[in-house]
Amino acid sequence: MNQQLEQELLGSWQERQEFAEQMQPILGKLYRNRAIEISVYGRPLLGASAIDIIKAHRTVRLKEKQKLRLRESWPMLEALNKMELAPAHIDLGKLAYGYHYDPAYADVAIEDYLSDQLKDIVNVKDDQNPQDVVLYGFGRIGRLLARLLIERQGTNNKLRLKAIVVRGGKEGDLEKRASLLRRDSVHGPFNGSITIDIEKNAIKANGSYIQVIYANSPTEVDYNKYGIDQAIVVDNTGMWRDEEGLGQHLQSKGVKKVLLTAPGKGAIKNIVYGVNDKDILSSDTILSAASCTTNAITPVLKALDEKYVIESGHVETVHSYTNDQNLIDNFHKGDRRGRSAPLNMVITETGAATAVAKAYPQLEGKLTGSSIRVPTPNVSLAILNLHLGEATDKAAINEYLRDIALFSPLQHQINFTASKEIVSTDLVGTRAPSVVDSQATIVAGNRATLYVWYDNEFGYSCQVMKVLQHMSGLVYPTLPESLPTK
């Protein structure tokens, strides 16, 4: 390689890196202070490193005829930062691509273009009151929800984590709870600072003051004593899954609603956000966010059913082991789950296939399901074996799902990868509950097999957050809904 080419490559890289570094503080301020989340073709830039921002821009050329340069998106982000905007999800990549590569906008100023494309949120006053949130339980999902709530700290933060309720209270308990929040073997270190107030039983994290309350049942807690009122309690213990059990939270002073992070029983609505979130009513006091697997497969199944009509199918999940299994062989009330989780593949049952119908009734009675627990701590895989109402091919299904992931109302639920090398650990920390592995898709006539990855901890927690936001009245638009056209 000659010296001139080396200098050109280095100069190009440095330019991209400098633009990405300039973007970082603006991305953070827009999110924390104005509740505006920025992405590039569905890839969220919240907390992204400079390298992540560069990579997000590179993915655009895999989906479009032209690549998107950071020098093209940077002035658009600058302009967004100067505008008076209401909270929203804004895809910077789609806006920038439409502006630079649609000839219709050749003579239009960036400010005028953005004012037109974002007219629904320009100069709209955000008068939503903050919402108190309580986490009841502090296990795998509880701690990830805490991270997601804390990362929202800022002047326009509307969801405020006010308390965590756990059993215990013995000496050293608070320190251990804080340590588990600070360090995670799967998801890495907490992004920020955590200290504890031993005298007042509280955790201080990135400006959040979180009261730790010790109680053996919901009815023991008076939240008003801690300055908490009209709170939404997120129950992630799994101890109660029906209205009678979860209704105990509503008897506590200071509580107005309850959200369960497990499949609800009886008449409780099971919400898969993006699929049946329109079923959420302001009068609902108890809701369920369904299961991680139901959240992973239902959006993809809905998308396929709407185009091809699913006549029947079987869902097989290859699921990471969970806390309800034994580390070494020991008694367990469930079949096979007593055998060592880190050493065995364990065949077990899953209710996810039948649970799909609670969120998407069109598939009631059409699906069966089973599961294999495997010796990995996180990230699972759903294999969808489907009989469709019409014949198709691999290219057509993949193109359709790619477009769904980019431009449909399900763009926050379905992600899409064309990588030939992706493996489970690559998906740790993925915010979308479903990632379609297009390279693994198999189609023969009207029979299709799709492989859908999901971070059964973090991706699911992001879905729980969306239900929580909706219950709080925080429903933000995603703009633009598709590539802009004039």
Stretch (H or E) spanning 368: strand 367-374
CA distance 420 to 438: 9
Contacts of residue 221, defined as CB under 8 A and 6 or more positions apart, other chains included, come to 165, 213, 215, 252
Write the burial class of residue 394 (CB in 10 Å: 0-12 exposed, 13-18 middle, 19+ buried): middle
User: Catalytic: 292?
Assistant: yes
CA distance 92 to 72: 10
Give the torsion through C-alpha atoms of 447, 451, 456, 459, to 10 deg: -100
Contact criterion met (CB below 8 Å) for 231 and 468: no
**Which residue of the set 35, 255, 287, 292 is catalytic?**
292
CA atoms within 13 A of residue 152's CA, in its CB half-sphere = 21
User: Rounded to whole angstroms, what are the CA distances from 154 to 36, 193, 226?
Assistant: 12, 15, 21
Minimal CA–CA distance to 451: which of 309, 331, 296, 324?
296
* Tokens standing for residue 330: 């020991």
- DSSP, res 427: G
Residues recognised as catalytic: 292
